[in-house]
């Protein structure tokens, strides 16, 4: 085999690229000096269409390639500009890298694959790049995937939710496929416009096939679903309904603590102290101490204990079971509105308009686990993505971890 053919394989270059020379530079980097095959047409880096040469651009430049053994490697070539009919003067496309990238396609692909499985420090260390760079590599790789992949042909049941990042100052809208729990789509903001982008991407025909949408009860979501999905039934996401009731319970506790402080009721304060998790947590997750605390509360403060039972009863509505739980829901609404606990009277008033949406949730057996689990995993990824300084990179990381797409390694078949 000729040397140049071996090097082409090593560096992931195709037959349209001519290797002029391999040198070992003073920094210990293997540099492949390459040029396009003579007579090959120049193309726009952004759209890939043929375009006449414009100027030299910034002259020669380098792209990092995958290491050769333990040595760094790079591809070096002229980087002229072309004059695209649509994009004007633009850096010409090269065959080994994405537009705007400083790394070869194989490098990008390998980093993206590893970012799916490894801790960020491992990825950055192994590839000798900053974590921020990993973010931009993933963003580019995932954008390519989005452009060619049709993920949405069989989507019938979706969940729409919003997640906050940057300390709750900014939001993303996430769309989940209920059939497999995977993230379908994520978009910036939390407005009708954001969600409109998803429905536009989904297309009119696929929108018409959506049968079920679960959401958090926000009006703007309901409006957009009504506008775009003529055959969809809206369900209230159980996770959100339960969170309203849990909030009501916490308000009761805080009010009682306040009252005990004002009346200097030390015994009551002692019982209510550290009671927060004892009443809020699911009973099967309570520690022994928390179980004792709950027993104390039952003796000492009937109001808080009734509030606790109301919360547990509401949670039970969404436990696995049949449609008889719709009856339980109706009973709960009566119980809460007559409880004389102001926070729960309010909660019942808030939930009643969604009675039919919750009934659909129960009829179609949507469970909490999916959205609740996803929320937790998204929070984790937001933490991991901090160093990216870019919301696009965070979105790429979410797609990578929670979406259907599994990146492959260069030169290997897709794995299970
Ligand atoms: Zn172009």
Three-state DSSP at 18 gives: strand
DSSP 8-state secondary structure symbol assigned to residue 388 = G
Q: How confident is the model at residue 5 (pLDDT cuts 50, 70, 90)?
A: confident
- CATH label of the domain that carries residue 226: 3.30.420.10
d(CA 318, CA 300): 29
Q: Are residues 282 and 352 in the same domain?
A: yes
Q: Are residues 372 and 228 in the same domain?
A: yes
Alpha helices in 203-275 (DSSP H): 204-209, 219-228, 238-262, 266-272
- Ligand 1 centroid to residue 49 C-alpha, Å: 6
Q: Are residues 226 and 266 in the same domain?
A: no
- Give CA separation, 196 vs 202, 213, 229, 267, 296, in Å: 10, 15, 11, 55, 51
Q: Is 181 exposed, middle or buried (0-12, 13-18, 19+ CB in 10 A)?
A: middle
Q: Are residues 212 and 265 in the same domain?
A: no
Tally of structural domains, the chain: 4
- Ligand 1 centroid to residue 48 C-alpha, Å: 6
- Ligand 1 centroid to residue 80 C-alpha, Å: 14
Q: By residue range, what is the domain housing residue 217?
A: 157-237+368-384
d(CA 291, CA 229): 47
Q: How confident is the model at residue 367 (pLDDT cuts 50, 70, 90)?
A: low
Q: Are residues 284 and 359 in the same domain?
A: yes
Q: What average pLDDT does this structure show over 21-37?
A: 94
H or E, element range at 390: none
pLDDT of residue 369: 63
pLDDT of residue 236: 82
d(CA 278, CA 261): 20
Asked whether residue 108 carries a pLDDT value surpassing 80, the answer given is yes
Q: Give the count of alpha carbons within 13 A of 360, CB side only.
A: 15
Q: What backbone torsions phi and psi does residue 322 show, to the nearest 5 degrees?
A: -100, -165
Asked whether residue 151 carries a pLDDT value surpassing 80, the answer given is no
pLDDT of residue 38: 92
pLDDT of residue 269: 87
- Ligand 1 centroid to residue 54 C-alpha, Å: 13
- Ligand 1 centroid to residue 201 C-alpha, Å: 22
- Ligand 1 centroid to residue 51 C-alpha, Å: 8
Q: Are residues 8 and 94 in the same domain?
A: yes
- Ligand 1 centroid to residue 94 C-alpha, Å: 13
pLDDT of residue 371: 66
pLDDT of residue 137: 92
- Ligand 1 centroid to residue 237 C-alpha, Å: 44
Q: What average pLDDT does this structure show over 394-415?
A: 84
Q: How confident is the model at residue 403 (pLDDT cuts 50, 70, 90)?
A: confident
pLDDT of residue 283: 83
- Ligand 1 centroid to residue 376 C-alpha, Å: 41
DSSP 8-state secondary structure symbol assigned to residue 403 = B
- Ligand 1 centroid to residue 320 C-alpha, Å: 54
- Ligand 1 centroid to residue 41 C-alpha, Å: 14
Asked whether residue 372 carries a pLDDT value surpassing 70, the answer given is no
pLDDT of residue 4: 84
- pLDDT > 90: percent of the chain: 50
Q: Are residues 168 and 246 in the same domain?
A: no
- Give CA separation, 209 vs 174, 198, 270, in Å: 19, 15, 56
- Ligand 1 centroid to residue 313 C-alpha, Å: 60
Q: Are residues 107 and 163 in the same domain?
A: no
pLDDT of residue 237: 78
Q: What average pLDDT does this structure show over 259-271?
A: 89
Q: How confident is the model at residue 61 (pLDDT cuts 50, 70, 90)?
A: very high
- Ligand 1 centroid to residue 97 C-alpha, Å: 16
Place of tokens 């069989």: 154
- Report the b/e string of 245-280 with b at 16+ CB within 10 A: bbbbbbbbbeebbeebeeeeeeebeebbeebbebbe
- Ligand 1 centroid to residue 287 C-alpha, Å: 62
- Ligand 1 centroid to residue 85 C-alpha, Å: 7
pLDDT of residue 182: 84
Mean pLDDT of the chain: 88
Task: Give the pair of three-digit tokens for residue 175.
Answer: 């769309």
- Ligand 1 centroid to residue 46 C-alpha, Å: 5
Distance of CA 21 to the CA centre of its chain: 44
Q: What average pLDDT does this structure show over 215-241?
A: 87
Q: How confident is the model at residue 337 (pLDDT cuts 50, 70, 90)?
A: very high
Q: Are residues 377 and 228 in the same domain?
A: yes
Q: Are residues 113 and 71 in the same domain?
A: no
- Ligand 1 centroid to residue 73 C-alpha, Å: 29
- Give CA separation, 47 vs 38, 145, 183, 249, in Å: 22, 15, 28, 56
Distance of CA 140 to the CA centre of its chain: 16
Are the beta carbons of 88 and 116 closer than 8 angstroms? no
d(CA 55, CA 79): 9
pLDDT of residue 141: 87
Q: Are residues 143 and 166 in the same domain?
A: no
Asked whether residue 224 carries a pLDDT value surpassing 90, the answer given is yes
pLDDT of residue 85: 95
d(CA 25, CA 61): 14
Closest by Cα among 345, 161, 316 to 248: 345
DSSP 8-state secondary structure symbol assigned to residue 283 = G
Q: What is the pTM of this model?
A: 0.74
- Ligand 1 centroid to residue 42 C-alpha, Å: 11
Q: What average pLDDT does this structure show over 96-121?
A: 92
Q: Are residues 304 and 414 in the same domain?
A: no
- pLDDT > 70: percent of the chain: 96
Asked whether residue 316 carries a pLDDT value surpassing 60, the answer given is yes
For residues 364 and 62, the model is more confident at 62
- Ligand 1 centroid to residue 304 C-alpha, Å: 66
């Amino acid at each position: 085999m000729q040397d140049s053919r071996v090097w082409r394989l090593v560096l992931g270059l195709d037959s349209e690229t001519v290797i002029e020379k391999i040198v070992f530079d003073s920094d210990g980097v293997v540099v492949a000096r390459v040029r396009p095959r003579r007579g090959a047409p120049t193309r726009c880096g952004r759209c890939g269409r043929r375009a006449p040469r414009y100027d030299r651009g910034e002259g020669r430049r380098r792209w990092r390639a995958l290491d050769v053994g333990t040595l760094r490697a790079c591809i070096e070539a002229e980087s002229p500009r072309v004059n695209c009919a649509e994009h004007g003067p633009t850096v010409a496309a090269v065959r080994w890298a994405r537009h705007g990238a400083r790394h070869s396609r194989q490098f990008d692909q390998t980093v993206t694959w590893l970012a799916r499985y490894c801790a960020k420090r491992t990825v950055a260390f192994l590839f000798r790049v900053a974590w921020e760079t990993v973010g931009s590599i993933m963003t580019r790789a995932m954008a390519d995937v989005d452009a060619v992949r049709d993920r949405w042909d069989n989507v019938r049941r979706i969940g729409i939710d919003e997640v906050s990042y940057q300390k709750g100052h900014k939001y993303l809208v996430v769309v989940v496929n209920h059939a497999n729990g995977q993230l379908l789509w994520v978009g910036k903001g939390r407005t009708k416009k954001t969600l409109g982008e998803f429905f536009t991407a989904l297309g009119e025909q696929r929108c018409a096939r959506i049968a079920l949408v679960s959401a958090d009860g926000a009006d703007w979501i309901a409006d957009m679903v009504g506008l775009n999905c003529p055959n969809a039934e809206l369900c209230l996401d159980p996770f959100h309904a339960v969170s309203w009731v849990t909030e009501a319970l916490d308000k009761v506790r805080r009010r009682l603590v306040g009252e005990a402080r004002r009346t200097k009721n030390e015994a009551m304060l002692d019982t209510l102290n550290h009671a927060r998790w004892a009443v809020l947590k699911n009973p099967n997750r309570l520690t022994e101490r928390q179980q004792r605390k709950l027993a104390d509360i039952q003796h000492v403060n009937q109001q808080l204990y009734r509030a606790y039972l109301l919360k547990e009863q509401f949670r039970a509505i969404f436990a696995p079971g049949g449609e008889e739980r719709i009856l339980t829901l109706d009973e709960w609404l009566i119980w809460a509105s007559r409880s004389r606990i102001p926070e729960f009277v309010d909660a019942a008033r808030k939930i009643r308009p969604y009675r039919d949406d919750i009934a659909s949730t129960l009829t179609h057996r949507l469970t909490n686990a999916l959205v609740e689990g996803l929320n937790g995993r998204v929070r984790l990824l937001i933490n991991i993505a901090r160093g990216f300084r870019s919301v696009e990179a965070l979105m790429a990381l979410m797609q990578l971890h929670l979406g259907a797409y599994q990146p492959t390694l260069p030169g290997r078949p897709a794995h299970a």
